[in-house]
Amino acid sequence: MRRTTYLTNVLKKYGSAAQYDAEAKKIMADKSLLAMILQVTVSELRGFDRSEIERFIEGVEVSDAPAITGMNTEDADPEEGMVRYDVHFYVIIPKKQRVKILLNVEIQKEYHASGDLMPRGIYYCCRIISGQKDREFVGDDYESIKKTYGIWLNLNAPKSEADSIFCVELTPKVLAGNTDPENHKYDLMNVTMIGLNDDSYIRRATELHGYLGTIFSKKLKPEEKIRILKEEYGVEPTKEVKEGMIKLCNLGEALLEEGREEGREEGRQEERENTRRESERADAAEKRAFQAEKELENLKRLLGAEYRKAQGDCMDRKTRHFGKKRGELWRDLFRKNKRHD
């Protein structure tokens, strides 16, 4: 009896594409990986080492996947609808005053131009900010709004964007007067885009690109990824990350095979369609030839008498013409003979 594998079950239940996304989100929920991303992208955490940042991370939640009870990955609004965040969590930085920052990490498997993705990233951050009402602050206590970060990973970016990290944030601009921007709380939102592709682990534009590129590469086998992370980044992947990378590779191969089969099926369909079109064209040509032959027979039948009469008249004209010529020749010959006599 054939044993049903884990992969077979999830493919039947979710489809490989959906499961690939789910496994990628689970990997991103690993605190050691989040710590590396936050060390680069969150200005408030620069100067802390990764082990400290890991301890600051709390309430990690992953959409469509079981995780630690914490932040809700769904934000439902009766007027604006539902938003689902891939990985939603917060950090608490133990400074003189505890600083709490809300974060959302989104993974984009399909390429989106960063400029096109940015409005969505801004919208997500705005929803997280507005969702703080009655959770992080009540009434009109807007001073208690927590800063929000939206970090987007573009996994299949073209080479021109594959080694990039850029962000959009709120910054003040004094248009008149001498007001001091530092007296106002404006730094409440940051949207950061990270571009990656399958060769990021080779180019390693930054340590973060190389690290993320290794984890999400479709070219590397799981054991190769684990070796590179250990030897070149000094990181021992957790059990969850190892399992996730193995599943990603298996699912990636399944997706590749699905794509190949879809391509083969499209080829077969195209061949069948071409055969059908050729048959239709041959049938149409045969039909046109039959119709033309039929119309010609009808024309002959309708014009037969007139055609034969016209043919007879033509022959009569030819006969009269040759008779006239023959008479002229005999007359000329008779005149010549008469002169000689």
What is the average per-residue pLDDT within 118-131? Answer: 93
Tell me how long the chain is.
Answer: 341
| Antiparallel, parallel or unpaired: β 165-169 and 189-195 | antiparallel
What is the average per-residue pLDDT within 293-304? Answer: 66
pLDDT at residue number 312 = 57
Determine the angle formed by the axes of helices 239-340 and 222-233, rounding to 10 degrees.
120
Structure tokens that stand for 307 in this block: 């055609």
Checking if the pLDDT of 180 tops 70, the result is: yes
pLDDT tier, 303 (very low <50, low <70, confident <90, very high otherwise): low
Residue with the bigger pLDDT between 2 and 162: it is 162
Choose from 35-49, 71-85, 256-270 the range with maximum mean pLDDT: 35-49
What is the average per-residue pLDDT within 106-122? Answer: 82
User: Using an 8 Å Cβ cutoff, are 173 and 133 in contact?
Assistant: no
Checking if the pLDDT of 10 tops 50, the result is: no
Structure tokens that stand for 31 in this block: 């605190």
Q: Which tens digits make up the pLDDT trace of 20-65?
A: 677 778 888 888 889 999 999 999 998 899 999 999 999 988 876 4
What is the average per-residue pLDDT within 186-203? Answer: 89
Nearest to 26 by CA among 62, 71, 69: 62
pLDDT at residue number 40 = 94
User: Which DSSP symbol is given to 173?
Assistant: -
Segments in 4-134 forming alpha helices (H): 6-14, 16-28, 31-41, 50-56, 114-130
Q: Which tens digits make up the pLDDT trace of 213-244?
A: 888 887 888 888 888 888 888 877 777 777 77
Q: What are phi and psi of 139, to 5 degrees?
A: 60, -130
| Antiparallel, parallel or unpaired: β 189-195 and 147-154 | parallel
**Cα gap 150→132, rounded to integer Å:** 15
pLDDT at residue number 130 = 92
Nearest to 39 by CA among 27, 47, 30: 47
Nearest to 29 by CA among 291, 301, 261, 238: 238
- The counts of H helices and E strands in the chain are 10, 8
Choose from 34-43, 195-204, 299-308, 315-324 the range with maximum mean pLDDT: 34-43
By CB atoms closer than 10 A (0-12, 13-18, 19+), residue 95 is exposed
Nearest to 61 by CA among 25, 35, 10, 14: 25
pLDDT tier, 328 (very low <50, low <70, confident <90, very high otherwise): low
Cα dihedral: 197, 67, 52, 165 (round 10): 20
Residue with the bigger pLDDT between 179 and 340: it is 179
What is the average per-residue pLDDT within 99-119? Answer: 85
pLDDT at residue number 97 = 73
pLDDT at residue number 308 = 56
pLDDT at residue number 278 = 78
Cβ atoms within 10 A of the Cβ of 54, count?
18
**Cα gap 282→267, rounded to integer Å:** 22
For CA atoms 289, 292, 294, 297, give the dihedral sign.
negative
The model carries a pTM of 0.65
Residue with the bigger pLDDT between 271 and 316: it is 271
